[in-house]
């Protein structure tokens, strides 16, 4: 099996095609990894996602340097794997985040079964129930792919 490095453009193709990633955060000396759903915005070079308030959001607020891993695995000899390093940015409900929020909604609407209504604010003002919308600005990306020789 030969392993090839992917170009940045090829890495972005994989990010754009997939919708589930592993998100890695660094809580001091303790890494934390969970699967997430996301949409990739090529123009902004950013991964958009949302979450309820929990360990990963607390972790990323504390340390915004995160990474995202996406792969397409057929078997041990046939796989493509991309790792993207970036910075967590929370998209709030204020006017300054309006454009990013609209962009996120536009991306999410393209995906079937997306629970977009969950991102609305509850009338009783209980913020714990409001999903946190965020994006990860990609700063560095690498990818590898195998193919069998011949």
Ligand X SMILES: Cc1cc2nc3c(=O)[nH]c(=O)nc-3n(C[C@H](O)[C@H](O)[C@H](O)COP(=O)(O)OP(=O)(O)OC[C@H]3O[C@@H](n4cnc5c(N)ncnc54)[C@H](O)[C@@H]3O)c2cc1C
Q: Which residues contact 2 (CB under 8 A, 6 or more apart)?
A: 146, 147, 148, 149
Contact pick of 44, 51, 69, 130 for ligand X (by CB under 6 A): 51
Looking at 56, 103, 135, 145, which residue binds ligand X (CB under 6 A)?
Answer: 56
**Of 80, 81, 23, 86, the residue nearest 55 (C-alpha):** 23
Quick check: 55 binds ligand X (CB under 6 A)? yes
- Report the C-alpha gap between 36 and 78 in whole angstroms: 23
| C-alpha span between 72 and 145 (Å, rounded) | 9
Q: Retrieve residue 21's tokens.
A: 């990633």
Give yes or no for residue 34 binding ligand X (CB under 6 A). yes
- Contacting residue, 1, 3, 16, 20, with ligand X by CB under 6 A: 20
**Region from 44-52, 78-86, 105-113, 115-123 binding ligand X, contact rule CB under 6 A:** 44-52
Look up tokens 């929370």; give the residue.
90
Q: Is 18 in the site for ligand X (CB under 6 A)?
A: no
Chain residues in the site for ligand X (CB under 6 A): 20, 34-37, 49, 51-52, 54-56
């Amino acid at each position: 099996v030969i392993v090839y490095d992917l170009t940045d453009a090829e890495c972005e193709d994989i990010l754009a095609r997939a919708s589930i990633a592993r998100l890695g955060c660094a809580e001091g000396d303790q890494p934390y990894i969970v699967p997430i759903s996301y949409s990739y915005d090529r123009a902004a070079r950013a991964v958009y996602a949302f979450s309820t308030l929990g360990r990963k959001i607390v972790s990323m607020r504390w340390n915004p340097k995160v990474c995202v891993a996406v792969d397409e695995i057929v078997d041990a000899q046939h796989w493509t794997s991309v790792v993207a390093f970036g910075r967590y940015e929370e998209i709030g409900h204020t006017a300054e985040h309006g454009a990013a929020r609209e962009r996120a909604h536009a991306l999410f609407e393209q995906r079937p079964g997306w629970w977009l209504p969950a991102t609305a604010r509850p009338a009783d003002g209980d913020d714990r129930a409001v999903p946190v919308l965020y994006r990860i600005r990609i700063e560095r990306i690498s990818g590898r792919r195998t193919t069998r020789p011949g």
